[in-house]
Structure 1
Amino acid sequence: MTSKKHRRPAWRPTWRISHTRRATLAATAMALGAAVPAYAEEKDESAETRKALPTITVTGDAVESATGPVTGFVARRGGTATKTDTPLIETPQAISVITRDQMEAQSALTLRETTNYTAGVVSSNFDSRVDRFKVRGGDAIEYLDGLQRSYGVYNTTRADPYTLERVELLRGPSSVLYGQGGIGGVLNLVSKRPQAERQREVQVQLGSHSRKQVTADFTGPLDTEGKWLYRLVAVNRDSGTQVDHVPDDRILLAPSLTWRPSADTSLTLQALYQKDKSGSLIGFFPWQGTLLPSLYGQIPTSTFTGEPGFDRYDTRNTSLGYLFSHRFNDTWTFRQNLRSTESKVVYNSSYTSFTANRLTGRPARPVFNADQRTIERDLIVQLNGGKMLLLDNQAEAHFKTGAAEHTLLVGADFQRNETSQLTGRGRAGALDVYAPVYGNYSAPTFLTRQPAVLQKQAGIYVQDQVKYGRWIGLLGLRHDKATTDTEGRPAVAVDDKATTKRAGLVYLADGGWAPYLSYAESFLPLGGADVNNKPFKPQRGKQWEAGVKWEPEGQRTSFLAAVYDLRDTNRKTTDPTNPLNSVQLGEVHVKGLELEYKGSIGRDWDWVASYAYTDARVSRSTGSDLGKRISGVPKHTASAWLMRRFSIGGVPGFSLGGGVRYLGKSYDGMDANPVPSVTLLDAMFAWDNGPLRLSLNVGNLTDKVQLTTCLARGDCFYGQRRTVTAAATYRF
């Protein structure tokens, strides 16, 4: 961040660059920068040229859009809640926006870390395979630019925050607009897009566990008229992790190209190539030695339960798509978004065994052997694949009926998702987790082809936002048809249909206050079947929510308070008697409160503070889980971050910030094995003056060892230890 004097204009994007791999990586990035045409150099402007160039307004609020850059932590507009560019205060549902500036200040290295200071989000699971987000007792489904980002399990890459302009969290059921979705909500990632103003940056980042990363982000016009805009985002990382023998390497290229032949038409072509190399960060450690006492103390967080040279989680993801928009007249605009994605994953892992042994009395959960030092290990090999084709058509109309102003949205979307897998299982020798000796294993020599799963879903939806004086109403209706076919298993074919509804009302009161009330539903076809070949029923949710938002005029602050009551039926969870099987709960009932406050003072201070109360329990079941709390969902969570910009000895551009995060006690799903509450501290110091930004960020400042979750099936998971990250960003 910059000082008041040198802070970038409000219309400019935030520029940031991440860790270094080697000196050659930095040279590569600089070569990339040299290769990009620099069409925005100063030129003599004729009257004709000035007429052709796009108009740029320097008033920050006037140019803010639902997808563009935002200065500071506070966004005023969003597109996730309505699929239209709408002020957040006019949306009758709780939504949070994490801006590029906030991600930069807090040095969010993973998508999981972008939500560390967002009310009610539990994303502390330290996992190299996926980013998980618990919201309102359920999972938030990831979307990218309004289209679902992934389908299936362990068959795709994790999103890189450096490629994102913002992250928007829409809490609660949201199927009216998105079809597939659970009660947790939608986590919509908004990608960086080509900009009309030339901007180029390179960043080198060094950090804990030999982290070396270099990133580059170039954007601007390709012609003098500004009809062609480009953007190229690149990431190259070579890194270790807090777990021995587990890398965190990445190569990513994300080019995009925008064609704007007129003010009414825009076509943005997007592509992504991402290749990651990692392994198993999760050890599936037994309760003993983590949550419970052990003869030899706590299992070290760096312990690797796999086999060096065998264990891997290597992913490759390629996608192509476009975002198209055409405005026919003052009333009608048509949009079409499409993306095709193919992903492949090589997943080899040896992990703490869940296999029972009747002869020795060993239970079907991770436990120590009699020596209280060694664990038995199972071994798995998977070659996973996924293909996705997604299409969303939208027609938006603006018109009046008397004194009422309407924003009508009519849409039809379609997706086709296919997953494939080759798998093999085996055994590895017992491992001493306090003094590991590796090499005792035999990899499977034969892999079995699992049945491919094909899911198709088509939906039609309609939404009307009606503004009448100070009142804003929202009505939405959607119908979905989803089919799931498993190759060679016609008995488990699923044909689901669902109609979902949404309604809300907002009142724009004096002083920037806006109380609201809303109702929403969700529909999530699960596909597949349990071990008895019984198809899973679709998951359904419904929610009532009431709240108030506050955005005082003339201030860059926003406040949200929301209470909700929601019910989730047919939720799939791990079978406590068989970890390789899943069962469906009758009903989960969640009640809660969320508070979030963001703002800035005179561009010298930025802050965010949040609190959430979440009571999530099984409310209907024929099993022993009736009335039990949902695993891994703390009743209380809170966080606060404060950052100050200042000068030292007359030199401007310094900033100092810090944060505190609190995660309350959680349980294993059977109200046993309570995971203690934890308080974590973060800190940052930066100097940003002119083209150069230097920063130092420390996560988990006191290096506190934490457990994020312990499950009734017998295993516990560690959280992230202290991470130190130093970055140098050069903008030119």
Structure 2
Amino acid sequence: MAAQTLAAETVTGNADVMVVIAQGEQNTTLPTGGMIAKQSAAGTKTQTPLVTTPQSITVVTRAQMDKQRVMSVSDAFNYSASVLPNYRGSSNRSDETIVRGFRYAPKFLDGLSFGLIGQGAGIGKIDPWLLERVELIRGPASVMYGQVDPGGTVIMTSKRPTAENIRHLQVSAGNKRLGEAAFDFGGVLNEDSALLYRLNVIASTRQQFVNDARQQRMAIAPALTWLPNADTSLTVLTSYQYDPEAGFRNFLPAYGTVFATNAGYIPYTLNVSDPNYYHSTREQVALGYIFEHSFNKAISVQQNLRYSQLHDNYKYLVYSTGGSATDTTLMRNQQRENIDADELGIDNQLKASFATHTVNHTLLAGLDYKWQKRNANFWRKTGDKYNFDWAHPRYGGAYLENDSDLPLARSAFKKLDQVGLYVQDQAVWQQWNLLLSGRHDWTEIRTYERTLNNAKRQSNDDDFTGRAALLYAFENGFSPYISYSTSFEPNLDSGIPGSPPFKPTTGEQTEVGMKFQPVGSDTLLTLSLFDITQKNITSWNSKLKFNEQIGKVESRGAEAELGTQITPALSLMSAYSYTEAETKESTNASTPAGNRPAATPRHMASAWGTYLVHNGPLAGLALGTGVRYIGSSYGDNKESFSVPHYILYDAMVSYDLGVASSQWKGAVLQINVNNLTDKHYVASCSNNEACFYGVGRSIIATVSYRW
């Protein structure tokens, strides 16, 4: 059956169409109906029970995102192990996350790359309302996805058409002048149920926690599925997102945030830029499809394709250096950035299920191609006239230059072509599960430096990545496993103009762990130990104002993650991680070997619980609460200072109005408060000139209606 119909069967009689929902295994592209997922296709590209997947994977369902009222994809991982989701606080324009000590986790949407990815963060940001689930693959995933970071990979799944009618309207308001309206419609379009649709729309506006900075968004995502027969499906996925106010991105000094000065601390909401010189917009458009066909019960094919464009503009005064215990003067630059990016991805898959004697095989073979191009321009002007006294802030004035008068500091055109050929075998013999995967990538990166007389740099690289994993599934629900995997990442970052291209970044990981899921239960416990080594890493040189390759880093640690539906009324999730990271080799004096990388807490822990009252006068009331602990971390790679640990509390209360009156059936009122105590804290520092305040208290009241 096509993927969209695995969980539903249509029976036509007379003029009526009856949809029967099967009570079987979860489909990884359809709503799970709860906060605990049991299936995932992220790690293997085949629908596999999480308990028998020999890799640490977190699934954040639509229900969890709704209960916790996440406002970004990075927020979805607030209660996941080994993830620092908002290390930049409210200065996070691109959903940058740090996983297992590595920045930044690349993002994939519906199996294809989302946003240009270098060793630095990918660009672009998708509204979580458009997503059915968000998953995190920990460790290298190059064997399935090609160009990725060894720390982890974010896998996003769009809301898909379903045979079940969906009518969902939602309106929200909150502090920081939050206003939001969204709807989600879906169902059958014709009598024989051959056409299904889904339409998601959202519009929102809110102030950020920095003065005079806003986020505004309008997004629409129409989708259509055609089922010409029981063996074939074609799903067209489109989206358009426009952010007329795309958010704030800047830096703060350690003095005034981590350390007190003679003037105290920098105000939590201070805008270190200038409201008179601020423009932040983003526009994204995407068009793609997923084609699936089953030749028989054993053999099927699938093709994913998407073309996307992104236009990003940002102009601001950026803090560069300055500030001390006795001096509150900061040096700033006036700069403007413009990025136009295009991306095409296609993934062809052949799947076969067969047996050799007593061994069952699920074989996957694939050929994918990725084409990306990025046209980036960067204007900047420096000088003492931009100096800013944060203790006595003054904005506006003759010191601001017209955009046309800013000198062009960097203009480059970069193009990436990548072809990958991969094969995977999931072999099952009795309780033994063996996973063997191999992939070879060929890449070509061409860079044209317009500011250097259109000088051309080209690098051609290829590499083999692999994965081998073994798991034993005991009948009592325990599944210990061991795995080894590698990664390959052509580097899209650039060094000093005129310097040779960077070498590809490679990584390898050994992971041992255990999963536990009692038979028939909605509980999944994952314990894992990992050891990751990454070579040819790059680091930002604050003196040169460019990246450089510095050597090798290692990250070792332990994780525990639990998700359980204890009773129909009570659910719980908790996570803990211990990460020991070290720079093993370095040629950069600011990143010495033997030290722990900045913004890498040793300890992180979280817990979230929800209780729903089923009976009595309070029936329909649900209460949720959570706590997040982020341990202390070094503020730079020299270990010269530390950023204190912090604890954040979240709360949720909702009430099903339909319990009180049948006239309100389907209506739910919900209030979420994140950072309940409005704690002021430093989220992280990367060096003395790159610290970030965390996000303040967020209050969101939501009324949703389903019919």
TM interval, shorter chain, is over 0.9
> Which digits, 9 at most, give the CA deviation of each residue in 1:342-380, with x for residues without a partner?
110111010213xxxxxxxxxxx332597x333222111
> Who is 1:485 aligned against?
446
* Residues 430-477 of structure 1: CA deviation (Å, up to 9, x unaligned): 323234221132233156471210011001000000011110101011
Q: Decide which of 548, 555, 559 is 1:590's aligned counterpart.
A: 555
Give the 3-state SS of the residue equivalent to 2:404 in structure 1: coil
* 2:512 is aligned with 1:546: yes
Contact 2:215–2:247 (Cα < 8 Å) also in 1: no
Report if the CA contact (8 A) 2:377-2:412 is conserved.
Answer: no
- Check 1:161–1:171 CA distance in 2 against 1; reply closer, same or farther (3 A cut): same
Contact 2:261–2:324, Cα closer than 8 Å, also in 1: no
Which piece of structure 1 moves more, 128-137 or 438-447?
438-447
What is aligned with 1:245?
A: 212
Q: Say if 2:403 is the partner of 1:444.
A: yes
CA contact (8 A) 1:155 1:384 kept: no
Give the CA deviation at 1:577.
Answer: 3.5
Does 2:384 correspond to 1:430? no
| Match in the other structure for 1:686 | 654
Q: 2 CA distance for matches of 1:49 and 1:563? A: 57
User: Match for 1:129: what amino acid?
Assistant: R
Structure richer in strand, relative to its length: 2
Q: Corresponding residue for 2:700?
A: 725
Shift of 1:94: 0.6
Return the alpha-carbon distance in structure 2 between the equivalents of residues 328 and 176 of structure 1: 26
Return the alpha-carbon distance in structure 1 between the equivalents of residues 244 and 695 of structure 2.
19
Q: Deviation per CA, 1:46-69: give whole Å up to 9, x if none.
A: 73567x765422x2xx04112211
**What is aligned with 2:672?**
697
Asked if structure 1 preserves the Cα contact closer than 8 Å seen for 2:310 and 2:341, the reply is: yes
Q: Hey, what does 2:159 align to over in structure 1?
A: 192
Residue number in structure 2 paired with 1:90: 52
Query: Given residue 452 of structure 1, which amino acid in structure 2 is its aligned partner?
Result: F
| 2:243 is the alignment partner of 1:276 | yes
Change (3 A) 1:375 1:529: closer
* Structure 1 residue 310 displacement after superposition: 2.3
Verify the 8 A CA contact 1:181 1:523 in the aligned structure 2: yes
Aligned to 2:64: 102
8 Å Cα contact 1:53/1:226 also seen in 2: no
Match of 2:419 among 458, 464, 488: 458
Which structure is higher in RCO with an 8 Å CA cutoff and minimum separation 6?
Answer: 1
- How far has the Cα of 1:726 moved from its partner? 0.5
Partner of 1:536: 502
| Aligned 8 A contact 1:79 1:86 in 2 | yes
| Structure 1 segment 603-682 matched on structure 2, within 5 A | 603-624=568-589, 625-646=592-613, 650-667=617-634, 668-682=636-650
1:384–1:419 Cα contact (<8 Å) kept: yes
Q: Secondary structure at the match of 1:511?
A: coil
1:392 and 1:150 map into 2 onto residues whose CA distance is: 16
Distance (whole Å) between structure 2 residues aligned to residue 49 and residue 504 of structure 1: 52
Q: In the aligned structure 2, how far is the partner of 1:680 from the partner of 1:597?
A: 20
How far has the Cα of 1:100 moved from its partner? 0.8
CA drift at 1:330: 1.7
The residue number in structure 1 matching 2:533 is 567
Offset at 1:168?
Answer: 0.9
Q: Answer whether contact 2:105 2:121 (CA < 8 A) is retained.
A: no
- Counterpart of 2:253? 286
- For residues 588 and 377 of structure 2, the distance between their equivalents in structure 1, rounded to whole angstroms, comes to 34
CA distance, structure 2, for counterparts of residue 369 and residue 544 of structure 1:
45
TM-score (norm: length of structure 1): 0.89
Matches of 2:642 and 2:246 in 1, distance apart? 28
1:148-175, CA deviations, whole angstroms, 9 ceiling, x for partnerless residues? 1010578843111111111111100111
CA contact (8 A) 1:576 1:712 kept: no
Match for 2:367 among 395, 406, 412?
Answer: 412
Q: Does 1:469 align with 2:430?
A: yes
Q: Give 1:311 deviation, angstroms.
A: 1.0
Aligned residues: 675
Q: Conserved in 2, the CA contact under 8 Å of 1:605 and 1:644? A: yes
How many angstroms apart in 1 are the aligned matches of 2:25 and 2:190?
A: 22
Counterpart Cα distance in 2 of 1:703 and 1:466:
51
Q: Which residue matches 2:4? A: none
User: Aligned partners of 1:443, 1:280: CA distance in 2, in Å?
Assistant: 22
CA distance, structure 1, for counterparts of residue 335 and residue 121 of structure 2 = 13
Give secondary structure in 2 for the equivalent of 1:150: coil
Aligned AA (1:120): S
| Letter in structure 1 aligned against 2:433 | I
Give the deviation of 1:636 after TM superposition: 0.5
Distance 1:622 1:585 in 2: 5
Helix, strand or coil: the match of 1:239?
strand
CA distance in 2, matches of 1:94, 1:63: 20
Which residue number corresponds to residue 100 of structure 2?
Answer: 136
Q: Residue 63 of structure 2 aligns to a residue in which SS?
A: helix
Distance 2:585 2:130 in 1: 42
Q: 2:265 matched to which residue of 1? A: 298
Query: 1:27-176 alignment to 2 at 5 Å?
Result: 47=13, 55-57=20-22, 59=23, 62-124=24-86, 125-126=88-89, 127-138=91-102, 139-151=104-116, 156-176=123-143
Instruction: Give the deviation of 1:601 after TM superposition.
Output: 2.2
CA distance in 1, matches of 2:586, 2:250: 31
Structure 1's 310 and 279: CA in aligned 2 closer, same or farther, altered over 3 A? farther
Residues 656-691 of structure 1, C-alpha deviation per residue, up to 9 Å, x if partnerless?
A: 010010000111211122000111110010012431
- Tell me by how many angstroms 1:530 deviates: 1.1
Deviates more, 1:150-159 or 1:90-99: 150-159
Aligned to 1:33: none
Cα separation, 2, equivalents of 1:680 and 1:686 = 21
SS of structure 1 residue aligned to 2:595: coil
**RMSD (CA atoms):** 2.0
Structure 1: runs of 5 or more not aligned? 1-10, 13-39, 354-364
Which stretches in structure 2 are left out of the alignment for 5+ residues? 1-6, 659-664
Q: Deviations over 1:155-214 (max 9, x none)?
A: 843111111111111100111110001111211011111111111111111012100000
Report the identity percentage.
34
- Structure 1 match to 2:334: 379
Residue 369 of structure 2 aligns to a residue whose secondary structure is strand
**What SS is found at the alignment partner of 2:80?**
coil
